[in-house]
Amino acid sequence: MNDVSLNDVLYVGIDDTDSQEGMCTTYITCVIIRELKDCGFKIQDYPRLIRLNPFARFKTRGNGALTFKLLVDSNEDVEKAKKIILKEVETLSELEEERTNPGVVFYSGRITPEMETYSIRTIQNIVSIEEAEELANSIGAEFFKFKKGRGIIGALAAIGCPLPDHTYECLAYRTPENRGTERRIDHESVREMNRQTYPETFDNVDDGYTAIEPHTPCPVLYGIRGESPEAVRKAHDIVEVNEAIESYCIFKSNQHTDMHLQCIDKISEMEQFKCYIFEAEVSQNPHVIEGGHIIFTAADGSGEIECAAYEPTKTFRDVVRKLAQGDKLRIYGGIGEKGTLNVEKFEILELAPTYKTLNPLCKCGKRMKSAGAGKGYKCPKCGEKLREAEKEKIPVPRDIEKGFYEVPPSARRHLSKPIVRMGEKKNLK
């Protein structure tokens, strides 16, 4: 790593410390920052929580990596800080879990275009440990691998991530004795917080229920997401809980920026484990499959893809069911394990006319009935028979309008931009 001098910045990246059973890299980062501050170090700006490709194979939950900027005055400072950071990562990581493979990256210097490109690739594609190592070596970053050290992929991506759009999240942490037990959050206070701070904070409640609360045994008590540090801090002050809060920390993030989505013109060029924005026409009407998932097919000139609103998207499925063949859509979503596109939101650009078909009318004015397979129609009133007649097509008014539709907060991907953030160019600097 390069030599440092007065007030230089040491970038620290950390990833892959937790498991399904517990811990959280954001929490480890908070503990590290607290210890560094206790030792007299200063942190520049907010620590950053960077979400990476939601389809990365080895993710635990939300594929988040962490980074912060430490001010250092000398090489001795760097060595002291590294010791503290590596010791805490080693102590607090769930190392006994096979899938936990922490990585820590230290870097001093300017963020290069290569680092930014790599970071965006890690958010939109799949990358290898070798690629991360190669880049780290070429820019003079130092990396530490625990076990397989897969975490260096995310740690390096977090350091280099450009944030043209960003949000903030205030994470409050539980004391050790409460972890794994039911969270004691005053739900009415969350609704009050939402009334006072939405849309500067968002995704707080879902159909009246608390959405800021995770449902895993991790140390997080709640997370409040919003447009500014002030908004999430204010919201945090309003929320009441009936258990001790060990600490809280505000992170700057790429959450809810749609950074994972790539615009693409051709369905035929889409690849699995990538997320896209594309325009297409509904080519097969939505239908329900086992498990309550709704599936429809979207096509453009180049090909077609099966699109899904899965069961956890709840009320979103009711909207998707209203789509009809010929509707023109702009679809936002990613292609998962089964090759089906998981719809995060869509915009209806044009609604196709829909019809119901009825048996022909008899000249006496009565609607005719089928006379049996292949035998045409018969009038139940006057007995008139028609061997060959066209069914009548009656236009049916559509029960849906043009515009944006999205999954509810409980089913939203961390990176997915809620519609409430789409109108204005928020936080774009």
Interface mask (CB under 6 A) for ligand ATP, residues 1-30, using x and -?
--------------xx-x-----xx-----
Tell me the window of 61-69, 177-185, 356-364, 386-394 that interacts with ligand ATP (CB under 6 A): 61-69
Question: What length is written for the chain?
Answer: 429
Q: Does 119 participate in binding ligand ATP (rule CB under 6 A)?
A: no
Q: Does 336 participate in binding ligand ATP (rule CB under 6 A)?
A: no
341, 412, 52, 349 alpha-carbon torsion, rounded to 10°: 50
- Which of these, 280, 275, 322, lies nearest to 298 by C-alpha position? 280
The 3-state DSSP class for residue 285 equals strand
The 3-state DSSP class for residue 407 equals coil
Tell me the window of 120-128, 160-168, 333-341, 385-393 that interacts with ligand ATP (CB under 6 A): 120-128
Whole-angstrom distance, CA of residue 275 vs CA of residue 261: 5
Q: Does 53 participate in binding ligand ATP (rule CB under 6 A)?
A: yes
Q: How far is the CB of 227 from ligand ATP (least distance, A)?
A: 22
**Integer CA distances (angstroms), 301 to 182, 267, 285, in order:** 51, 8, 18
Tell me the window of 149-157, 178-186, 233-241, 374-382 that interacts with ligand ATP (CB under 6 A): 149-157
Sheet strands (E) in 365-421: 369-370, 377-378, 385-386, 392-396, 403-406
Strand-pairing partners, residue 83, are: none
Q: Does 153 participate in binding ligand ATP (rule CB under 6 A)?
A: yes
- Which of these, 426, 411, 394, lies nearest to 292 by C-alpha position? 411
Nearer to ligand ATP among residue 63 and residue 354 (C-beta): 63
Q: Does 253 participate in binding ligand ATP (rule CB under 6 A)?
A: no
Q: Does 248 participate in binding ligand ATP (rule CB under 6 A)?
A: no
Q: Does 167 participate in binding ligand ATP (rule CB under 6 A)?
A: no
Kindly give, in sequence order, each residue whose CB lies less than 8 Å from that of residue 396, ignoring residues fewer than 6 positions away: 354, 355, 356
Q: Does 223 participate in binding ligand ATP (rule CB under 6 A)?
A: no
Q: How far is the CB of 61 from ligand ATP (least distance, A)?
A: 4
State the chain's maximal CA–CA distance in angstroms. 103
Identify the residue among 127, 270, 294, 368 touching ligand ATP (CB under 6 A): 127
State the number of binding residues for ligand ATP (CB under 6 A).
Answer: 23
Identify the residue among 47, 54, 64, 219 touching ligand ATP (CB under 6 A): 64
Whole-angstrom distance, CA of residue 126 vs CA of residue 234: 37
Q: Which two tokens stand for residue 418?
A: 């809620």
Residues that bind ligand ATP (CB under 6 A): 15-16, 18, 24-25, 52-53, 56, 58-64, 101, 122, 126-127, 150-151, 153-154
